[in-house]
């Protein structure tokens, strides 16, 4: 019995020096001598010492859970937004292409193609490049410059609408290819008959001229069906 109390005093002294908590003790019976005493329980001591570590791990998991929730919400928004804007998983897309020669203001190779693509392809790829695109084939700045205006009317089963005017100012005289992309943003959403009317006026200033000449107007229209 005296030895057990000495153990408790030693443990209290260690606590005063190190600041560590006292080990939990338990009463056991020793059958050989018929005596009882208090001995340190090392298993209980280890469990008690690990408790602050478990709390620290739990505290660390809470901000990680918040970050995970934010990531899941952002991913859901990215996946659902294109479909919500388009109103469908797939959308129709029509490309109208034509060549323009500034100077004589002539047009050729007018063509249109209609295809289907996913809402993700349209919003994350095709739409980024813009709905009106121009590439120069053969131009000559030394021949002069031009100001070109494109007026575009798009007729759908729901009615006609004038799309934003496209302007090329101070461009070199020569040959260019223009491509118009028509889809849900412009009003091509469902099956039916569609028509595009393009009116172009160009004022040219040949090399050596002091001013632009009188604008020349040309135009064309093309019709197609979306199944």
In a domain, 99, yes or no: yes
DSSP designation for 93: E
**Structural domain containing residue 192:** 90-226
pLDDT at position 188: 97
> Does residue 94 share a domain with residue 2?
no
Q: What is the pLDDT of residue 50?
A: 52
Task: Please check whether residues 144 and 212 belong to one and the same domain.
Answer: yes
Residues whose CB falls within 8 Å of the CB of residue 18, separated by 6 or more in sequence, listed in order: none
Asked, for residue 85, whether it belongs to a domain, the answer is no
Count of the separate structural domains present in the chain: 2
Whether residue 193 sits in one domain with residue 102: yes
* Cα→Cα distances 79→3, 63, 70, 72, Å: 72, 25, 14, 11
* Residue 188 in domain: yes
Kindly state the percentage of the chain with pLDDT values over 90: 57
- Residue 76 in domain: no
Please determine, for residue 198, whether its predicted confidence score (pLDDT) is greater than 70.
yes
Q: Which residues of 123-161 are buried (b: 16+ CB within 10 A; e: fewer)?
A: beebbeeebeeeeeeeeeeeebbbbbbbbbebbbeeeee
> Does 62 score more than 70 pLDDT?
no
Measured between alpha carbons, how far is 182 from 117 in angstroms, rounded to an integer? 12
Residue 129 DSSP symbol: G
- Is residue 20 situated within a structural domain? yes
Residue 65 domain-assigned?
no
| pTM, 2 dp | 0.68
In this structure, is residue 68 part of a structural domain?
A: no
Whether residues 95 and 9 fall in one domain: no
In a domain, 107, yes or no: yes
Q: Is 225 helix (H, G, I), strand (E, B) or coil?
A: strand
């Amino acid at each position: 019995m005296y030895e057990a109390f000495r153990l408790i005093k030693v443990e209290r002294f260690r606590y005063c020096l190190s600041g560590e908590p006292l080990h939990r003790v338990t009463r056991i019976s020793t059958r050989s001598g018929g005596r009882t005493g208090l001995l340190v329980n090392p298993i209980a001591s280890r469990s008690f010492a690990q408790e602050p570590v478990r709390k620290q791990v739990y505290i660390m998991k809470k901000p990680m859970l918040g970050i995970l929730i934010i990531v899941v919400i952002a991913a859901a928004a990215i996946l659902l937004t294109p479909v919500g804007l388009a109103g469908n998983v797939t959308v129709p897309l029509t490309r109208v292409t034509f060549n323009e020669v500034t100077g004589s203001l002539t047009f050729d190779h007018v063509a249109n193609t209609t295809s289907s693509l996913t809402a993700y392809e349209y919003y994350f790829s095709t739409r980024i490049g813009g709905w009106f695109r121009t590439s120069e084939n053969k131009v000559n700045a030394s021949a002069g410059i031009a100001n070109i205006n494109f007026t575009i009317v798009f007729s759908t089963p729901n009615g006609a609408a004038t799309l934003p005017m496209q302007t090329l100012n101070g461009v070199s005289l020569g040959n260019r290819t223009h491509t118009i992309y028509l889809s849900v943003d412009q009003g091509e959403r469902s099956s039916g008959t569609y028509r595009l009317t393009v009116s172009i006026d160009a004022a040219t200033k040949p090399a050596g001229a002091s001013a632009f000449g009188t604008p020349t107007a040309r135009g064309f229209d093309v019709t197609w069906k979306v199944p």
